[in-house]
A and B are shown apart, each in its own frame.
Chain A
Amino acid sequence: NAGVTQTPKFRILKIGQSMTLQCAQDMNHNYMYWYRQDPGMGLKLIYYSVGAGITDKGEVPNGYNVSRSTTEDFPLRLELAAPSQTSVYFCASSYGFRQGTNEKLFFGSGTQLSVL
């Protein structure tokens, strides 16, 4: 019963490097999300997807890209890492929108990223 799986758990990048944070869910959820958590700032939405092939920006999309080629996978790409992207990143999924407790998100365990 994996749920939402994120890899890697930890990563240190140098300024200007690129990397992809992986996220996969096995619950056949339509909606997937990427959040970042900064100390004292709560969770900020970076990008979200309502289904395969459809993505849209959240509150803080600059410096990131996403793709959704399958229902299961939703990778987050950092092209030119900057110190401001040091954060904990959470991927989440949900069944749908406005269908009971669809806003009930299922989160992965997070990726702690440091950009030095």
Chain B
Amino acid sequence: DQQVKQNSPSLSVQEGRISILNCDYTNSMFDYFLWYKKYPAEGPTFLISISSIKDKNEDGRFTVFLNKSAKHLSLHIVPSQPGDSAVYFCAASAVYNQGGKLIFGQGTELSVKP
């Protein structure tokens, strides 16, 4: 039962263009969503988050959009840079899920080509 799904295992984008990474979830109780970025041989690092009371959160080149009715969120990176090449995980949590336990998607590997 995959509650958080990233259906695209990989994405290739030209430098300077927009990267859009998608994530779908099934549990309507999720109320907080995060994106993590992972380079090879390193642990994931926090990138950006959004609460379910918002539909957009922006931090520099990174914007996360939340569509609660569709149970869908997306991460936009504009403009994309070669250093953005990494695996991106979306994650979700619910207020009833004590301990801040995050449910992660499978990840999308982004490749930004010069």
A residues at B contact (CB < 8 Å): 4, 31, 33, 35, 40-45, 48, 50, 56, 58, 90, 92, 94, 96-98, 101-110
Partner of B43, one of A40, A97, A102, A110: A110
Given contacts A97-B100, A109-B42, contact A42 B106 (CB under 8 A): yes
How many A-B residue contacts, CB cutoff 8 Å?
A: 69
Given contacts A40-B9, A108-B43, contact A103 B99 (CB under 8 A): no
Nearest to B95 among chain A residues (CB) is A98
Beyond A33-B101, A109-B42, 6 additional pairs, beta carbon < 8 A: A4-B43, A35-B104, A42-B104, A44-B104, A104-B49, A107-B45
- What's the dominant secondary structure at chain B's contact region? loop
Binary A-proximity of B74-114 (CB < 8 A = 1, otherwise 0): 00000000000000010101010011111011110000000
Least Cβ–Cβ distance between A65 and chain B, in angstroms: 18
**Most chain-A CB neighbours within 10 Å: which of B44, B89, B99, B105?**
B99
Given contacts A40-B106, A103-B102, contact A90 B95 (CB under 8 A): no
- Which residues of A are found within 8 Å of B6, using beta-carbon distances? 42
The distance in angstroms between the C-alpha atoms of A35 and B107, with both chains bound, is: 14
Q: Is the CB of B42 within 8 A of A97?
A: no
Least Cβ–Cβ distance between A43 and chain B, in angstroms: 4
Given contacts A90-B44, A103-B32, contact A48 B49 (CB under 8 A): no
The distance in angstroms between the C-alpha atoms of A92 and B6, with both chains bound, is: 22
